[in-house]
Amino acid sequence: MRLERTAQDQRKEETNLKTRARFSATLCLICAAAWLPGILWGISSMRIKEDSFKDFTKGDPKSTSISSDGKITIAPALEKIYDTKEALIWDQCVGADGTLYLASGNNGKIFKISKSGKGELFCDLEELEVYAITMDKEGVIFAGASPGGKIYRIGQDGEPSLFYDTQEDYIWDLLFDGEQNLYVATGKNGKLLKIDPEKQCTTVYDSPAANILSLVRDANGSLYAVTQGKAFLYKISPEGKVFMLYESGLDEARHIVCDSTGNLYVALNSEKLSKKGMFIITPPAFQENGGVLSLVEDRPPGAPPSPPPAARPPTIGKGKSSLVKIDPQGYVEEIWRPEETPIHCLYFDPQRKHLLAAAGEKGNLYVVKDNGDFTLLRSVEEKYLLSIGPRAGGLAVSTGSGGVVYQLQFDEAEEGIFWSRAVDAKTAVKWGNCFIQAEMPAGVQLSLATRSGNSSEPDDTWSPWSEFAPVPNQRVPITSPIAQFLQWQVKLQKKKKAAAGPVLDFAEIYYTMPNLAPRIKRITVKKARVAAKPEIKRPTEPGIDKKAPLVGNLRGRPGTDEKAVGKAADSNPKKITISWDVSDANDDELEATLYFKGESETTWKEIEDEITNTRYTFETVSIPDGPYRIKVGVTDLPSNPEPLARTASLVSELFVVDNTPPEIATFSAREKSAGIFTITATAKDGASIIAAVQYNVDADDWLYLMPTDGIFDAAEELFAFDTESLTVGEHTLSLMVTDDEGNTTVRKVLVTVKGSGNASGKAASAKD
């Protein structure tokens, strides 16, 4: 025998299964809910995963490096070796004995730092800025001073002597060739000069750009120069022939370097002026106070003035920066477009085959590869890194917004610290474990510490840092207290003889939040849409129908503007669409139950339960006419055991159900003259206003009527009009009335026009 279940039986069984499943979940989790009285914690864990360069650079690298593919490693050791107390260090060079020389602004001073680390003032020039410094093969220092364009030769005693006066405004770079010819990059006339050992000066090239900013030589003796104003790259052969090697279309080629195989790397900067690719550089505004240039700026009353800036080509902020590679054959390739702008300077490290680039306003130093991969190598406290050079097996990097020199050593660091950003759980949560995925070769260790708080930026209201805990099996319990925000820091360590340090791939922070109740923002109750009905035939001539009868002093209007005169006939769908806007902070699965209640009733009646979407169509033919409200009840029970489940409800605004057609209470015709009848009618509705009235004669075109008071605004309206002269015989006059809900009724009256024998004007017969 075949057994069949009714839909009702199947639904009951599904409900029982759900109930048993929820009961089992309740038994398993009831103790978990009771561990913190008064709070209903959610049953599902949530996590915040940080695994990208973008994620990690929102934190503080401290003493770690971050690669473009989201790996954290121990950074090279960084040591502050000297603070010049000047505003900026523009350039540097190093002598054969390891002494480092620094060109600074804005007081025209040159400093030196011995190999042992002792720093002191070396020379004080009269000019404000020393943008360029270099050394000849004898170890003699040459410095280009600005403004004014003078080149000084400085002896070992620090005494300067004028070597050559270029008569140019600025000197941006100096470079000796193998024959001790000194090449000079100048501005703002964009000239490249050559001064031979006999101090004879010639113009190698007069560029159309405003400034020649940077010079470099390759192993074959060719000279390369880049410009600002228009970003050009020129190649000058040993014979002095100038060739345009590259035109970028941007505003500034800031710096150029050459690697050991002859590849050129150029730092390009620009500020976009329009969407059509037009670019412009806006220089800072200067004013002269007693002969000293200072930046015109807005600052609070009483605040100390900023140090006087130099007339350096302006730092470009919100623009585009790019690093391009030009190979020895002359092919150009963009290899890096940094998020931070501008690119300040470049350096090719021949020992490690690294291309280094300083960019942005966070003191960041990058290593960039030809394939576009890059690593944020180190960061310093000062905003700008303006020059990079060799020092004692490592690198010396110098800064702007504080003229400080750091020494970078690649093989000494055994520990790195990284601080994450303050991760936001959106509400107070209980923190679980932190899972760390990392490469852990022999001789290394990872340790984790955390702190939590309820302000978006960590401050003294946060909990203290927890003790560093080793990461066994890459998982550490978070001991910080319940809060909305959490910050973690990781310590990467390696033994001195370890071949490599740890590599952190990603961190996952697990947490659970209290099971918050769903939130219903609004309920909307609207008439359901119905399929469009065939359009009633109407006169094609727009405007007033000349055949329409007079209504008072107005003629009836053809039915061409339903919106203006009311509802379309039979447009009541007798259905409503109920929709609700609901959210859940836990992203729980939700179920809704719908109820209705008449305004005079006391009990809510269920329409439907276990609704998983946010829209429902309700057929109102199943309830009497009258005013009603809808209640929506929502629960997160599908995602939580019953003791932990939360609910919410909201009641709609009052709406009216009106499915009853209006009544044509009176409808009569009286012959006014031969063939012309006066029609009067009264239309009534029990719940809505009368919205539209139409009539026709013998099923001809429907024509709209207006009530005698000229406006549809009441549940009872009076109509009176005269027909045009009708032909002899019987005629059917039909009247169609529609209320504001789209309910429609039609009634007719029959009239008879007699022959010429009735021309005397006696009443014609009329019957309904």
The rounded distance, in Å, linking the Cα atoms of 741 and 322 is 66
Residue 446's nearest CA partner among 407, 409, 493, 396 is: 493
SS3 23: helix
* Spatial CA neighbour of 468 closest among 445, 438, 496: 445
**Distances, alpha carbon 382 to alpha carbons 47, 89, 364, in Å:** 35, 12, 9
Cβ contacts of 612-617, under 8 Å, gap ≥ 24: 614/579, 614/580, 614/581, 614/582, 615/577, 615/578, 615/579, 616/577, 616/578, 616/579, 617/528, 617/575, 617/576, 617/577, 617/578
pLDDT of residue 674: 85
Q: How far apart are the first and last CA of the chain?
A: 64
- Which residues are registered as beta bridge partners of 64? 74
- Reading phi first (left if > 0) and then psi (alpha if -120 to 50, else beta), residue 55 is in alpha
Dist. CA 235–CA 255, nearest whole Å? 14
pTM beyond 0.85, yes or no: no
> 286 near 296, Cβ under 8 Å?
yes
Tell me, what DSSP letter sits at residue 480?
S
H or E stretch covering 130 = strand 129-135
Rounded-to-integer distance, Cα 87 and Cα 406, Å = 15
Q: For residues 480 and 469, give the distance between their C-alpha atoms in angstroms, rounded to a whole number.
A: 13
HSE toward the beta carbon, residue 417, CA cutoff 13 A: 9
In terms of Cβ atoms closer than 10 Å to its own Cβ (0-12, 13-18, 19+), residue 6 is: exposed
String of DSSP letters for 490-536: EEEEE-TT-SS--EEEEEEEEEE-B-PPPEEEEEEEEEPP-PPPPPP
- Contact by Cβ (8 Å): 171, 188: no
Residues of the chain scoring pLDDT < 70: 1-44, 271-318, 530-566, 756-768
pLDDT tens-place string over residues 708-740:
999 999 999 999 999 889 999 999 999 999 999
Residues 6+ apart with CB under 8 A from 15: none
Long-range contacts of 274-283 (CB under 8 A, 24+ apart): 277/249, 279/249, 279/250, 279/251, 279/319, 279/320, 280/251, 281/228, 281/229, 281/251, 281/252, 281/313, 281/314, 281/316, 282/314, 283/313, 283/314
Nearest alpha carbon to residue 676 among 747, 555, 748, 763:
763
C-alpha span between 708 and 550 (Å, rounded): 11
The β-bridge partners of 683 are 664, 717
Token pair listed for 637? 């029970």
Residue 394 to residue 349: CA distance in whole angstroms: 9
Residue 40 has a pLDDT of 54
How far, in Å, CA of 78 to CA of 65, rounded? 12
Residue 148 backbone class (left: φ over 0; alpha: ψ -120 to 50; beta: rest) = left
**Angle (CA) 376 373 313, round 5°:** 60
Per the CB < 8 A criterion, the answer to whether 667 and 681 are in contact is yes
Tokens representing 324 are 């391009």
SS3 565: helix
pLDDT of residue 249: 86
Sign of the CA dihedral running 617, 623, 627, 633: negative
Euclidean distance between CA atoms 354 and 366, whole angstroms: 10
Tell me the DSSP string of 576-616. Answer: EEEEEEEE-TT----EEEEEEEETT--S-EEEEEEE-SSEE
Amino acid at 454: N
- Encode pLDDT of 753-765 as tens digits: 987 644 333 334 4
Between CA 340 and CA 101 the distance in angstroms is 29
Query: Where is 137: in which H helix or E strand?
Result: none
722 — phi, psi (to 5°)?
A: -110, 140
CA 318 to chain CA mean position, Å: 16
Whether the CB-CB separation of 296 and 368 falls below 8 Å is answered with no
Preceding omega of 230 cis (within 30 degrees of 0):
no
